[in-house]
Amino acid sequence: MSKPLPSVTVVIPARYDSSRFPGKPLIKLNGKPLIQHVYERAVASRIVSDVLVATDDDRVKQAVEQFGGRVVMVKEDCRTGTDRVAAVARIIAGELFVNLQGDEIPLNPELLIDLVEPFIRSGAEMGTLKRVMNSTEDLHNPAVVKVVTDARGYALYFSRAPIPLVRADPDRRVVGGLHYIHLGLYMYTKEALRRFTSLPTSPLEEAEKLEQLRGLDNGIRIRVWETKHASLRVDQPEDVPEVAERLQQYDKRELELRGVASE
């Protein structure tokens, strides 16, 4: 008899009072709040056991309940999204947890599968995803996080800087297969979450404002898998029109494909 798969809970941390973009979870994209787009795509993934939003704000709670989503209020002061996920993990049953950031829209539910399936097989304590970078603009954009991994797929470093630096190229152009975008989702065992949140904020984490560096700074190995599936990220107000348009185009294309398939 095959061993049953462990339960996988997706937690979507959603703060209202973002310093760069207050109220971001509730910004409307094609008639729906951003948090609803993220939630619905997570729920559509066949591999997850449960999906819920973790917030400290009643406005976000009401919005999630309005579209029928599950929400947990976390009133304690949390340094990062991972700390908010850990707070949820302390009060609910669950074996494995996914932190899907509230401004990262997985366009295809298979994106979550690209993380969950290899994580379960690997025995890793913490994992995440990367995608090949194709844009030199993204390479030099500090809002786009880059990741460098070793030959076995473990993270060496995450940065907002254009890493790795191609010294021989004075134009600092992107190199496909060398430069990778880091996606805004992580997976952990319950014990790794407990350990992570017990650690002090690390110097690298503070410098780059990247929570995953707390793990690397303290010897937590982070396994990184590659996905080819797209996601859309809202970092600042200027991103909203483009993300809304791309989301609309993607949904329209999916409807057309399903229509063709059903004929």
Residue 262 has pLDDT above 70, yes or no: no
Inter-residue contact 166 to 175 (CB < 8 Å): yes
Q: Looking at 20-24, 29-33, 34-38, 257-261, which range is the least confident one?
A: 257-261
| Percent of the chain residues topping a pLDDT of 90 | 79
- Minimal CA–CA distance to 38: which of 105, 110, 123, 132? 105
Residue 1 has pLDDT above 50, yes or no: no
Q: State the burial class of residue 219 (Cβ atoms within 10 Å of its Cβ: 0-12, 13-18, 19+).
A: exposed
- Minimal CA–CA distance to 237: which of 29, 42, 13? 29
Residue 260's pLDDT is 56
Residue 20's pLDDT is 75
Residue 165's pLDDT is 94
Q: Looking at 9-13, 75-79, 145-149, 238-242, which range is the least confident one?
A: 75-79
Q: State the burial class of residue 144 (Cβ atoms within 10 Å of its Cβ: 0-12, 13-18, 19+).
A: middle
Residue 87's pLDDT is 94
pLDDT tens for 104-122 read 999 988 899 999 999 999 9
Inter-residue contact 145 to 128 (CB < 8 Å): no
SS3 233: strand
Residue 258 has pLDDT above 90, yes or no: no
Residue 13's pLDDT is 95
Predicted model pTM = 0.91
Average pLDDT, the chain: 92
Residue 18's pLDDT is 75
Query: Residue 69 gets which letter from DSSP?
Result: -
C-alpha 164, offset from chain centre: 22
Output 12 or 256, whichever has higher pLDDT. Answer: 12
Mean pLDDT of the 5-11 span: 90
